Amino acid sequence: MSSTESRSPERWQRASEIVGVFLLSVVAVLTAWCGFQASKWGGEMSIAFSQASSARIQAAGADGAARSARAFDLTIYAAYVEAVGDGNDDLADYIRDRFTPEFRVAYDAWVDDGQVENGPFAREEYVPEGTVEAQELNDRADEKFAEALENNQRGDNYSLLTVLFALVLFLTAMSQRELAPWVGRTLLGLAMVVAVVGVVILTTFPIRI
């Protein structure tokens, strides 16, 4: 056997060790990065869930205010109808002057259109105070809830990638054991392939600093 042929296994062993150390170092950093990102997205998820909960509570408060405003308008309108029915024009005018702005818009539109609907409350112009705010806050709560679910999925994706990189570490470490040369080469090659796939997937993930 020539000296060149005898050195060939040694050269492969040396190259394998260098590649293995490099791969272990890079993947260890990538694994730590994935863990960091998973933690950051988990925090973003918690913040979004809190914002969704806060918006939902505020929406409930605004909806309660809208219900109270509607009840007030109903009471005033009932008194107005009673005054009109009794022929007490002075009292009817007095009560009408105290209609809330939101109800007055609907009442005037109802009268101008010939009072076709059962009452001004059926008009689309009637929007009690707090109705718009409640809808906006509910929409914000839905948006933040969806954002929280998306952030949770992003954190899960990074966690899954951590498992993939752990597989690379395992395959690389096994390739450095005293195994048949072809086995070591196969394991190291497989580790490199999995590492490349993991890096490609990693580049598609959003980053949170």
Q: What is the pLDDT of residues 45-62, one digit of tens each?
A: 999 999 999 999 999 999
Q: Which residues of 75-87 are buried (b: 16+ CB within 10 A; e: fewer)?
A: ebbeebeebeeee
Query: In the predicted model, what is the mean pLDDT of the chain?
Result: 91
Q: What is the pTM of this model?
A: 0.78
Q: Which residues of 140-177 are buried (b: 16+ CB within 10 A; e: fewer)?
A: bbeebbebbeebbebbebbbebbebbeebbebbebbbe
Q: Measure the CA–CA gap between 72 and 58, rounded to whole angstroms.
A: 21
The stretch 181-189 carries a mean pLDDT of 85
Task: Report yes or no: 175 and 187 within 8 Å, Cβ to Cβ.
Answer: yes
Q: Measure the CA–CA gap between 115 and 127, rounded to whole angstroms.
A: 18
